[in-house]
Amino acid sequence: DSGVTQTPKHLITATGQRVTLRCSPRSGDLSVYWYQQSLDQGLQFLIQYYNGEERAKGNILERFSAQQFPDLHSELNLSSLELGDSALYFCASSVSWWPTSGNTIYFGEGSWLTVV
C-alpha cells in the first residue's frame, strides 16, 4: 500500500459526460501528479500540483482540468468524454515539487475509466 488513495476504482460513463476523479496523497506529501495510462501509449503525464499551485503541465487536454485543495487532496475533472478517454488514471504524490529529489513518487491504485 503506497498510501496514495484514489476513488473511484472503476467508472463507466457515456460519451459527452463529465466525471471527477479524486486523489488523497500520502501523509506529508505536498505534490500530486496525474497520469493517464492507455494500452498503446503507456503512462502519460498530465499535470502536477504542489501545495495547491499548478507546478508542471504535460499533455493534458483542454477538456480536462485539475485542482489541489487546501487539505492537499486533488481532483481531476474530465468533461465532454470521448471513447478515447477510456484509460487508467493514476494519481501519484511526492514530498517535494521535484518528482524524485532523492526519493520517488508513489502511485495510487488508479481509477479505471471506461467511456461507452
Task: Name the residues that contact another protein, by CB under 8 A.
Answer: 2, 4, 33, 35, 40-45, 48, 55-56, 58, 88, 90, 97-100, 104-110
Closest approach of Cβ 15 to another protein, in Å?
25
> Grid cell 471513447 — which residue?
83
Give the residue with the Cβ less far from another protein, 16 or 58. Answer: 58
Give the residue with the Cβ less far from another protein, 61 or 79. Answer: 61
Query: Cβ(9)–Cβ(89) under 8 Å?
Result: no
Beta bridge partners of 112: 10, 88
Closest approach of Cβ 22 to another protein, in Å?
16
Query: Cβ(69)–Cβ(77) under 8 Å?
Result: no
Give the residue with the Cβ less far from another protein, 79 or 97. Answer: 97
The set of cell numbers assigned to 116 is: 461507452
Closest approach of Cβ 13 to another protein, in Å?
20
Closest approach of Cβ 7 to another protein, in Å?
14
Give the DSSP letter string of 49-73.
EETTEEEEE-S--TTEEEEE-TTS-
Give the residue with the Cβ less far from another protein, 25 or 110. Answer: 110
The span from the CA of 74 to the CA of 19, in Å, is 14
